[in-house]
Structure 1
Amino acid sequence: MIAQTTATDFGKSISRAEKGDVQAYEGAGLDYFHGSNGAPQDYAKALFWFRKAVNNGNSSAAQMLGEMYGRGLGVPQDSELAAKWYRMAAEHGIPFAAESADLFEHITVEGRLEQRRLGELERAFTILNPFQDPAFDASIEDRKQAFAVIQKAAMEGLAGAQSTIAFIYDDPVFADQLGVGFDQSKATEFYLAAAEQHDPDAMVAIAKRYEHGIGFAKDTDKALMWYREVAKLPFNRFSHLTGLAGCKIDFLEDGMLDNRNCETWTSTHQARNGLRDDEPHLDQ
């Protein structure tokens, strides 16, 4: 499990960061970003500490850089750079970063979304993130409205939104909190729609559903088909998913590994939560 910076850490983060404690860099950035724990809101200083955090291996800080570039906070608004840093966070298993990357990539590459809708959708993804920074407070009504915004985008065909809606329907607690009801059938429908657009997380979800007979009749051949598609993804971008897929393929084809080992491999990989040597460091 990826370590999360808690609200109780923030008060000491700036002084620790200024003394060179790399573990405090993200917390210092969050203090300045939110203007919390006695720190003034200062986007330039937040950007400085988030950059240092990313350059020292903290990939969750890349998500905050994505938000700053996406919203133009302390820097000129830049959808391409926002997509870049959200994608970096997503590639290291940061929850819901992939959906934000998807939004900005649609703008910069395909132009499917109007700029005026971007802020609304990005905020909706932020609100529904179950691993949200404790300093961010959203009411149940905010969450329900966010669900409605993302559901609309899902119905319009945005893969990241479809994958998010599927995740919500697939989680009994989350679905109950939003008042939409746990629904495996709807989860499968939205996962499949996203997977057919090559959404990596949705592709894995569909493979697992065929593997275990959830939403579909159990079908090892179709599970293998989807895992093989996942295994084709660029390793340097999706190693946590391609590694899982490779393990699953070995398990299903040869019975060499048990299922628990595959899931453990992914959890261990994500827990490392560090940047690779071949990834660019921040100088923007």
Structure 2
Amino acid sequence: MDNSIKPMTFDLKDLEGKAKNGDKLACYILGRSYDSEENGAEQSYEKAMYWYEKGKELGDPCCTYGVGACYYFGDGVEQDKEKAKQIHINAYKPLLELIEKEKENPRKQSFPKFCLGTYYYFGFGDIERDEKKAFELIHACAMQGHLPAIYDLGANFYYNGVGTEKNLRLSEYYLKMAVDAGLQRAKVKFEQYKDTYESEIEK
């Protein structure tokens, strides 16, 4: 277990100031914050889509991915998987280019890399589902302190054995890390899993 992981959290007002000045990554993080109740934000699909669209207009592939995800799940818009597919196809190559561009800055690189991981997890665009590849990408992001990735390792990948062996001890470890970093949905999930952890993990 890696105790050197430092989960990234952000201040919404600071992000908003940066996003209004054209910071594309700030637009994406704001969109995610309102989409998934991160960084202390209350869920608002309307605000999420606003920031995703703003970043998309600035040419950010993470934000373009976010717009596609909203259409895929019907979050704040009418569900349209065909539209989502086209948006995700358009964002795929720019995401790869951004991952390459940010290779000297792994924490910053974790944002487009996380998006790519979800491509393989859900089969976005014309990518075939590949749980092992999804796990590898999400795990790499978590090691850089990417909080949604840390959550996903604990809540899904290690808990359910998705793309890797089931490991409740690691599931508890990463989910607790997300709880300690203040992620609201991690607190809810930890409560749901608590009995399983207590009964099935050997102390």
TM-score by length of 1: 0.45
1:119 partner SS: coil
User: Partners of 2:168 and 2:113 in 1: how far apart?
Assistant: 24
Aligned to 2:129: 182
User: Partners of 1:120 and 1:163 in 2: how far apart?
Assistant: 14
Aligned to 2:5: none
Q: CA deviation at 1:215?
A: 1.7
User: Partners of 1:252 and 1:198 in 2: how far apart?
Assistant: 23
1:145 partner SS: helix
Count of residues in Structure 1 that have an aligned counterpart in Structure 2 = 161
Instruction: Please state if 1:121 is matched with 2:34.
Output: no
Shift in CA distance, 192/83, structure 1 to aligned 2, threshold 3 Å = closer
Instruction: Please state if 1:225 is matched with 2:170.
Output: no
Instruction: Please state if 1:244 is matched with 2:195.
Output: no
1:198 partner SS: coil
Alignment match of 1:145 (pick from 82, 90, 111): 90
Deviations 1:224-263 (A, max 9, x none): 21122112112xxx212222124324431247xxxxxxxx
Determine if contact 2:176/2:190 at 8 Å carries over to the other structure. Answer: yes
Shift in CA distance, 118/217, structure 1 to aligned 2, threshold 3 Å = same
Unaligned runs of 5+ in 2: 1-11
Higher RCO (CA < 8 A, seq sep 6+): 2
Aligned to 2:140: 193
Counting only pairs closer than 5 Å after superposition, residues 48-67 of structure 1 correspond to structure 2 as: none
1:215 partner SS: coil
User: Partners of 1:210 and 1:81 in 2: how far apart?
Assistant: 29
Aligned to 2:150: 203
Q: CA deviation at 1:191?
A: 0.8
Identity percentage of aligned residues: 13
Letter in 2 for 1:149: P
User: Partners of 1:81 and 1:179 in 2: how far apart?
Assistant: 27
TM-score by length of 2: 0.60
Q: CA RMSD in A?
A: 3.9
Determine if contact 1:227/1:246 at 8 Å carries over to the other structure. Answer: no
Deviations 1:143-190 (A, max 9, x none): 31212222333454422222222122111xx43xx2211111110111
Based on CA coordinates, which of the two structures has the bigger radius of gyration?
1
Determine if contact 1:213/1:219 at 8 Å carries over to the other structure. Answer: yes
User: Partners of 1:162 and 1:232 in 2: how far apart?
Assistant: 23
Deviations 1:96-135 (A, max 9, x none): x5xx79xx9xxxxxxxxxxxx963335523442223635x
Alignment match of 2:113 (pick from 140, 156, 162): 162
User: Partners of 1:142 and 1:86 in 2: how far apart?
Assistant: 16
Shift in CA distance, 247/180, structure 1 to aligned 2, threshold 3 Å = same
